């Protein structure tokens, strides 16, 4: 009698444990949502002599859905009658809105008024005629990818007016010391008129600090 009781007890123990052993393990993977860094402010290049990924200075305003950047532009022209040197003149202020949801933003731009006054038989110039941009957060970086159409004018080129494509990837983040890091990569169409070797893509890294702050 005692032997039968022992066997029955062992069977009950096994029947209780077996279903638990066949249960699939629970996944421990989870997504941690981090607060987005605030890129708002008026930012200045820490290297005054450098132009930088976003110019010498720019202003940024951020809300829950987008980042708005305003910066000055520069127009470059080249005239064969001016000793073969390029001339830089201030361009208009440009305002860019980067939506955080990855939705495409398209913009079109007219030729700068300055270029319309140049002699087309001697002047070389180019400007961005249209852009297509998407932006989204990747970790603690805001990544912006822009496809640009560049309208070039070159008197000795056939045809003199033609379009080329350029893609830029801009990554914005804040360093532990409060500075803003802007890293830009450019991929451009090959230039058949250039006698120089152009090593692209290349990374331009620029450090900005908020206006009025003194480096410690």
Give me the residue spans of the domains in the chain: 41-210
Q: Is the pLDDT of residue 16 over 80?
A: no
What is the pLDDT averaged over residues 46-67?
Answer: 91
Average pLDDT, the chain: 79
- Locate 32 and state its tokens: 């941690």
Q: What is the mean pLDDT of residues 65-90?
A: 78
Of 126, 130, 129, 102, nearest in space to 114 by CA: 126
Question: What is the reported pLDDT for 43?
Answer: 97
Q: If 0-12 CB within 10 Å is exposed, 13-18 middle and 19+ buried, where does residue 182 land?
A: buried
Q: Which of the four pLDDT bands, split at 50, 70 and 90, describes residue 118? A: confident
20 band by pLDDT with thresholds 50, 70 and 90 = very low
Smallest CA-to-CA distance from 42 within 56, 32, 29, 31 is with: 56
Give the C-alpha separation, 61 to 79, whole Å.
38
Helix (H, G, I), strand (E, B) or coil at 127: strand
Of 15-29, 31-45, 132-146, least confident by mean pLDDT is: 15-29
Is residue 4 over pLDDT 50? Answer: no
Alpha-carbon distance of 204 to 54, in angstroms, equals 10
CATH number 2.50.20 is the correct assignment for the domain at 41-210: no
Comparing 23 with 120, the larger pLDDT belongs to 120
Per-residue model confidence (pLDDT) at position 34: 57
């Amino acid at each position: 009698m005692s032997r039968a009781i022992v066997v029955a007890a062992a069977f009950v123990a096994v029947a209780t444990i077996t279903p638990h052993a066949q249960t699939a393990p629970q996944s421990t993977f989870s997504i941690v949502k981090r607060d987005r860094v605030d890129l708002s402010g008026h930012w200045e290049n820490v290297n005054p002599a450098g132009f930088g990924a976003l110019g010498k200075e720019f202003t940024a305003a951020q809300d829950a859905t987008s980042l708005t950047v305003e910066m000055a532009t520069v127009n470059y022209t080249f005239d064969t009658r001016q000793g073969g040197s390029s001339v830089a003149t201030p361009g208009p202020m440009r305002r860019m809105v980067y939506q955080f949801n990855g939705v495409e933003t398209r913009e079109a731009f007219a030729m700068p008024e300055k270029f319309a006054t140049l002699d087309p038989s001697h002047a070389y110039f180019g400007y961005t005629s249209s852009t297509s941009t998407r932006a989204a957060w990747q970790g603690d970086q805001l990544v912006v990818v822009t496809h640009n159409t560049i309208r070039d004018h070159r008197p000795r080129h056939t045809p003199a007016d033609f379009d080329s494509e350029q893609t830029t990837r801009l990554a914005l983040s804040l360093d532990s010391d409060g500075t803003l890091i802007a890293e830009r990569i450019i991929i451009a169409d090959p230039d058949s008129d250039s006698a120089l070797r152009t090593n692209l893509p290349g990374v331009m890294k620029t450090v900005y600090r908020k206006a009025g702050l003194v480096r410690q």
